[in-house]
Amino acid sequence: MAGRLVERWLAAAYRGDAWLVALRPLEALYRLVVRRRAAAYVAGRKAVWQAPVPVIVVGNITLGGTGKSPLVAWLARFLGERGWSPGILSRGYGGSSDRYPLLLDADTPVAACGDEPRMLADQTGLPVVVDPDRTRGARRLLAAGCDILISDDGLQHLALGRDLEFVVVDGRRGFGNGRCLPAGPLREPLTRLDGTDAVVINGEPAFDPPAGAHGMALVPSAWRRLDDSRRVPPTPLPFAGPVHALAGIGHPARFFATLEELGVEPITHAFADHHRFTAADLAFDDHRPVVMTSKDAVKCRGLAPVDSWVLEVEARPEAAFIDWLQARLVSLSTQ
């Protein structure tokens, strides 16, 4: 029930519903807390630890999904192909472990590490560490031999110094009504973008993008059988007729729209972000195929029907962003 209420509030925040005006006094208090917290790090009242290797932060300033995890996976592969030894650092939202820092291995359960870290470890094959204390987690990645770190969803974790900051924005939803919590979907005021290195917009923007923003597309790359990892191209479809489409992500509508663009007839089932699936969530009397995202798939192993498919997507940043990143990496390697 709580998850449904959050989703309804988030939808209202992106639409800019009039009743949110009543929450602006709380927004003012939230902005004050955010501003004072940031000022404490700038003034040195709170310590910032700078790793001895480059740190790249990929995050967002809005609640809800923006497509940052596919960009993290792309960036990790991009760095590896150019001779770096990257490691991924995550808070591990939705997971809980009795030992941190947690360096994932093939057997680390989702319940311990969270869905996004499990997905990123499976997709990249690179070291992934989960730790609520990002500084401690970063040291663990250094011990694992990493020479560049990617902090996933780390924009607001100011105790870890960073060399580059990327903010990912959903092109369809943008910044909603432009207000901070709880009167809008922003984690930080829009002025926060002024201090970041790159704004990356996922999809064609339905708003006026910030000056210098870069574009990115999420492109379906393959269908994968959940039970045996068999992969086939996105088209033609490996199933026929309507399917049950599950999405427990920050913006389920984007996944459902992608399915329709591929010619899928989805019977949609939206869940709250990081939803913990049970067998009952995947039990349908009509025995139609079930399709899901990669993020949801790591939580549905052993629960889903035999005829279940995962739609894998890849981030494809525009050429201008890749050229810019190449130049920045050269400067980082010479520091």
Q: What is the pLDDT of residues 100-141, one digit of tens each?
A: 999 999 999 999 999 999 999 999 999 999 999 999 999 999
Query: What percent of the chain has pLDDT above 90?
Result: 83
The C-alpha atoms of residue 151 and residue 141 are separated, in whole angstroms, by 11
The C-alpha atoms of residue 256 and residue 242 are separated, in whole angstroms, by 13
Q: Judge whether 139 and 327 are in contact, CB under 8 Å.
A: no
Q: Is the dihedral of CA 61, 335, 76, 276 positive or negative?
A: negative
Instruction: Please compute the mean of the pLDDT values over residues 185-192 and round it to a whole number.
Output: 96
More confidently predicted of 304 and 4 = 304
Q: Residue 3: its pLDDT value, please?
A: 61
Instruction: Please compute the mean of the pLDDT values over residues 84-104 and round it to a whole number.
Output: 93
Q: Judge whether 127 and 144 are in contact, CB under 8 Å.
A: yes
> 324: which residues sit within 8 A by CB, 6+ positions away?
198, 214
Tokens 């709250």 sit at which residue?
A: 272
Digit-coded pLDDT (tens) for 136-156: 999 999 999 999 999 999 999
Outline where 163-273 has alpha helix (H): 252-261
Instruction: Please compute the mean of the pLDDT values over residues 238-265 and round it to a whole number.
Output: 94
Q: Is the pLDDT of residue 335 over 70?
A: no
Q: Is the pLDDT of residue 2 over 80?
A: no
Q: Residue 93: its pLDDT value, please?
A: 83
Tallying the residues shown for the chain, one arrives at 335
Domain residue ranges in the chain: 2-215+318-333, 218-316
Residue spans of beta strands (DSSP E) within the chain: 55-59, 86-90, 102-103, 128-130, 148-152, 164-170, 198-202, 214-225, 231-232, 243-247, 266-270, 290-293, 308-317
**What CATH number does the domain located at 2-215+318-333 have?**
3.40.50
The C-alpha atoms of residue 251 and residue 270 are separated, in whole angstroms, by 9
